[in-house]
Structure 1
Amino acid sequence: MTAERTIVIIGAGVSGLTTGVALLEAGHPVRLVAEEVPGVTSLAAGAMWGPYLVEPWVRVREWSLASLSAFEALSDDPATGVRMVSGIEAARTHVPAPAWSSLLPNFRTCAPQELPAGFASGYRFTVPLIDMPVYLQYLVDRFQRAGGVVERATIQSLDAVEHASAIINCAGLAGGDLAGDPGVRPIRGQHVVVKNPGITEFFSEDTGLSPDLLCIYPHGDTVVLGGTAIDGEGDLRDDPETDRAIVNRCAEIVPELANAPVLARRVGVRPTRSEVRVEAERHETGGMVIHNYGHGGSGVTLSWGCAGEVAELVSTTVDPKGVQSFNS
């Protein structure tokens, strides 16, 4: 294949990298263009499988199932950073089981004695837990082993992309700008990484729409503590006061976390939209653009499912025999 017939992916977060792997392994030449590889927001993720405040459910369900299957397979290889981990999600009020509970065969209601003090309901289940720095490096390596090309550059307009048979817009928060879509907004997330005092199971609180989250995700020697969900805020600077509040919330559940050495602080911006956008559209100059953005806090959970749908769209909409024009 010539360079002109290469599919260009914009963005190197979990969506861009996973889409790149899916396309390469389907036989398409791919060039991935991003300012940072891997992307900052994906590096900051917790990350546990589970659809989080994302629509539309009829599509989210299928994307989530596809990703669940992919992560279960990847968990057999420790080098991927993916493990199947058991734990509890609980609430301080009586909360019904989430819609996605039907996707997990081991999902069950907790007995009262399983819940921390102050919690009224909860559920136990086993899901993929993903150590994002390890996993994203695994994706980068898999992408390059499959023949993918990585180019570090900032793309501010689809018109700036040259020599492409199609463009895949996986640019996260910037994806809306590239698409002329004003419906994408930031939701700021912050995590604290500490030395693991011996935790083997995850814990998360169903906090509804609160900006203050509580999650404890063990990754071997480390634990990722979270978090925040501040709607409309895109500042990537670390906030020490928020760090302290996160640790204090988590230490109420596991007191040993209060004195656990802090190893890192992570801040990212969830690219949020009323509905995830995975669809093809013809650029005004004739080239085909396939959008894959707006995943909010479910980028990891939806990654393999959305990548598979992008690969299907490429097979049905992109002419493999020649270059398309994106320059007016």
Structure 2
Amino acid sequence: MTRARKELVSIEATPYYHCICRCVRRAFLCGEDFYSGKNYEHRRGWLLERLRALQDVFAVDVCAYAVMSNHYHLVLRLDSDRAASWSEDEVMERWERLFSLPLLVARYRAGQTRTEAEREGAQAQIALWRERLQDLSWFMRSLNEHLARRANAEDGCKGRFWEGRYKSQALLDDAAVLTCMSYVDLNPVRAGMADTPAGSDFTSIQQRIREGASVPGATGEESGERTEPRLTTLGHEGDDGHPNAVVFTTDDYLELVDWTGRAIREDKRGAIPDHIPPILDRLQIDPAHFLRHVRRGGRSYHVAALGRVERMRKAAMDRGRHFIKGIGVSRRIFVGSPECP
């Protein structure tokens, strides 16, 4: 049974979420449609442009993305602390970039409210907007609705563009975030659309490589004029210092993705490369089950959450449930408590 989104998203449990959305009937409405012969590749760029625009409005960070021909994946981080730090004027300015301000709020901003009731009403509306600007559902709505309208306008038609509401999966700890980001970035390699992570167009791994990091033997192509989202800094590198930053660094991540990509390309499904990235050992992730999980694709991601078993059980208890789908998958991949970084 479909559950209300508020039962699936809890900022108290985790700020990290994996989101998936598919085009209607899984048609190739963002790539090459082999049935009609039409090419919609340019629409992938629309998604990246919109992500970048929404980052300037919402308190939501992009950790990883992959834009495929008929669906896309996002790994997002909700930043409630940033939203709480905004002034009322900043909240109004951000909201106005997407929606028109009601007359009461416009008068409040101009200092033209006459009664205390009017001021309280405007302040309550601004407080509601502050909540929405850090809300996963409102972020995804602002992304998907814009793309659907733009695509329908181009096609001269009406109706659904997306198959249904987006799917979301809570990522409860660093090991889960690392596993999910790897899965997302390796979508084109797993689908046979690219030979290397660096050659995977419209993915965050290609963007990270191009922005300065590198993996052995990999080279990235320039994006030209394409607008891309800002990616979160991994670990506490540079000046990020985010309280919810993951413990693994960009170098850790790129080494893992390169290792995993090589394993996926090998024909021996049970084979594990000799060199195992240290990050797997540090986070106590089982290499064999990690590879199996990434190879299997979407079948492993029909679960509500991913993380260590103790975190999964706590998340279930916090939601008043005895069980949360995904514990079996998590038990196989995450073998113990991680060491301190």
Q: TM-score, normalised by structure 2?
A: 0.25
Q: Which has the higher contact order (CA 8 A, sep 6+)?
A: 1
Larger radius of gyration: 2
Q: TM-score, normalised by structure 1?
A: 0.26
Higher helix share: 2
